[in-house]
């Protein structure tokens, strides 16, 4: 959310210093060892242990909204006004009470419900919080050679959209904020993997970035660099041509000279001007 989850600057500094120190401190907005988990990446889900819990649609939105507020105690009027923006305040507050009441026992375990506010219960984890820590550790590291312990797990954590198919303004804003964070993390990770000579993993990270935003040139650049570093010039050329074609068809634009330069020596254009053709 765009109000503070906790003390924003203090939390960011704490995470960065923890990552640099090399130990996996938990984010200030999440406690370890949870038996209850809320998923917002790739779709909504509520889990108690290994068992999924069915949640009514209106209650899903309350759980998701509070989960995105991290550990902050969220005032009831703020929840009600955000989730039911077109409804008068008394009715919106009634809707919130009803949504909370419809939660079964398992669902209510995820929340600490007070008379004036609602927050996540101690021990409830959220998949987004873990993925954000992965992204921030990648971006905060001052050592270019520093890599996550499990590259596949890191790429997977950074590959999922937040609440796809949810069109509420608050969900869309959070989804875009997460998209930007994970794109930067995936591109940074791909660059470090290229430098480390781990080309297959670099291609995987770059592909995840490209899948998240096919028209973003920085992701395409990492993908071409990974293919070229591995010696797969044909793969690089195919990737460039796919991107060039899509960019032209959807936006009427051409790749920048910087990107063209990566493949200029592979496929000079028939015009002889040194530019790869589409």
* pLDDT (mean) for 73-95: 96
**Is the pLDDT reported for residue 270 higher than 80?**
no
State yes or no: pLDDT of 217 exceeds 50: yes
pLDDT, residue 269, reads: 52
Cα(111)–Cα(123) distance, integer angstroms: 10
Q: How much helix, strand and coil, in percent to the nearest 5, is found in the chain?
A: 55, 10, 35
Q: Determine the average pLDDT of the residues in 109-124.
A: 95
Q: Is residue 122's pLDDT more than 60? A: yes
Q: What percent of the chain has pLDDT over 90?
A: 74
Q: Is the dihedral of CA 62, 63, 69, 75 positive or negative?
A: positive
Cβ(243)–Cβ(220) below 8 Å: yes
Q: Is the pLDDT of residue 254 over 80?
A: yes
Q: Among 8-22, 133-147, 261-275, whose mean pLDDT is lowest?
A: 8-22
* Dihedral pair phi/psi, residue 99, rounded to 5°: -65, -40
Whether the CB-CB separation of 32 and 26 falls below 8 Å is answered with: yes
Other beta carbons within 10 Å of 190: 29
Angle ∠(70,171,77) on CA atoms, nearest 5 = 65
Give the pLDDT band (50/70/90) at residue 139. Answer: very high
Cα separation, 106 vs 110, in Å, equals: 7
Dihedral sign from CA coordinates of 202, 134, 21, 139: positive
pLDDT, position 1: 56
Residue-level pLDDT at 12 = 36
Q: Using the predicted structure, report yes or no on whether residue 252 has a pLDDT greater than 90.
A: yes
DSSP string, 190-217: HHHHHHTT-HHHHHHHHHHHHHH-TT-H
In three-state secondary structure terms, 32 is coil
Question: What confidence category does residue 161 fall into, taking pLDDT thresholds of 50, 70 and 90?
Answer: very high
**pLDDT reading at 133 higher than 70:** yes
What pLDDT shows up at residue 148? 83
Q: Is residue 182 over pLDDT 60?
A: yes
Q: What is the mean pLDDT of residues 43-71?
A: 93
Q: What rounded mean pLDDT belongs to the chain? A: 85
**Cα 205 to Cα 48: distance, rounded to the nearest angstrom:** 31
């Amino acid at each position: 959310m765009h109000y503070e989850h906790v003390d924003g600057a203090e939390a960011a500094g704490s995470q960065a210093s923890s990552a640099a120190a090399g130990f996996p401190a938990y984010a200030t907005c999440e406690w370890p060892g949870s038996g209850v988990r809320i998923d917002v990446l790739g779709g909504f889900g509520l889990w108690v242990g290994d068992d999924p819990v069915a949640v009514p649609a209106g209650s899903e939105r309350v759980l998701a909204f509070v989960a995105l507020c991290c550990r902050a105690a969220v005032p009831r009027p703020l929840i009600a006004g955000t989730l039911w923006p077109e409804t008068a305040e008394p009715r919106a507050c009634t809707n919130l009470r009803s949504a909370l009441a419809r939660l079964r026992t398992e669902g209510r375990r995820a929340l600490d419900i007070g008379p004036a506010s609602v927050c996540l219960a101690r021990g409830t984890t959220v998949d987004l919080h873990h993925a954000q820590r992965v992204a921030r550790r990648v971006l905060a590291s001052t050592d270019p050679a520093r890599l996550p312990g499990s590259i596949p797990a890191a790429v997977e954590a950074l590959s999922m959209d937040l609440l796809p198919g949810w069109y509420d303004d608050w969900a869309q804003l959070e989804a875009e904020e997460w998209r930007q964070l994970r794109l930067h993390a995936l591109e940074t990770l791909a660059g470090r993997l290229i430098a480390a000579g781990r080309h297959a993993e670099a291609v995987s990270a770059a592909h995840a970035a490209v899948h998240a935003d096919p028209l973003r040139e920085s992701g395409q650049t990492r993908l071409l660099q990974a293919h070229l570093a591995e010696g797969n010039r044909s793969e690089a050329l195919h990737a460039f041509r796919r991107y060039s074609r899509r960019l032209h068809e959807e936006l009427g634009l051409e790749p920048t000279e910087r990107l063209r330069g990566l493949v200029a020596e592979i496929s000079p254009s028939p015009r002889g001007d040194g530019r790869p053709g589409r």
